[in-house]
Amino acid sequence: MAYSAKDYGKLIGMEGFSETLLKNHFTLYQGYVTNTNKVMDTLGEMAKGGKIGTPEYAELKRRLGWEFNGMRLHELYFENLGGKAALNKSGKLGKKLAEDFGSYEAWEADFKGVGAMRGIGWAILYQDPVSGKLFNQWINEHDVGHPAGCNPLLILDVFEHAFMIDYGLKRPDYIAAFFKNIKWEAVEGRLK
């Protein structure tokens, strides 16, 4: 069954994010959904048409990880936005961050540092389901660097389209605005 783009229009009005920036971002996201469907359909047709093993099939297969993750990471990003309250540091997630990073503040400094790394991609707080451990990870573009089997808890988009309209090159100011709008209950809900 084809994927459908979700409506994140309720995020319009968030402090620190202009309507123009958000609408452009929603349009980009919708493109990933369209292309994920298109790539999956074309691969299916190529497989049926005896094209497995061709360079065209291989290149399109490589492309799928980029389109699919572009779709799913945007959904996780928009869904961890729109909150108003700070994290309850004595809750399940707050305690776990302090346990794994020394303090909430140490985690936040590390996450913001990952988000400010040069390059386009994503900063993601992951949980390893094997050890339960939390760690911050840099994802290059959409598809490179995901730790296998780990669960993404908090997702920050640091492609230039996510902030340049509002902040120019001031990525740390965008990250500060992102932090003011994190929907912590959604992030905590992803914790196992």
Binding site for Fe ion (CB under 5 A): 157, 159, 162
Three-class SS of residue 180? helix
CA 155 – CA 70 distance, rounded (Å):
12
Nearer to Fe ion, 63 or 72 (CB): 72
CB 109 → Fe ion: shortest distance, Å?
Answer: 24
Find the shortest distance in angstroms from Cβ 42 to Fe ion: 24
Mark 164-191 as b/e (b = at least 16 C-beta within 10 Å): ebbbeeebeebbebbbebbbbebbbebb
User: In the complex, what is the shortest distance from the CB of residue 142 to Fe ion, in angstroms, rounded to a whole number?
Assistant: 9
Nearer to Fe ion, 73 or 93 (CB): 73
From the CB of 73, what's the least distance to Fe ion, in Å?
A: 8
CB closer to Fe ion out of 24 and 151: 24
Nearer to Fe ion, 67 or 157 (CB): 157
Rounded (10°) angle between helices 171-180 and 104-115: 140
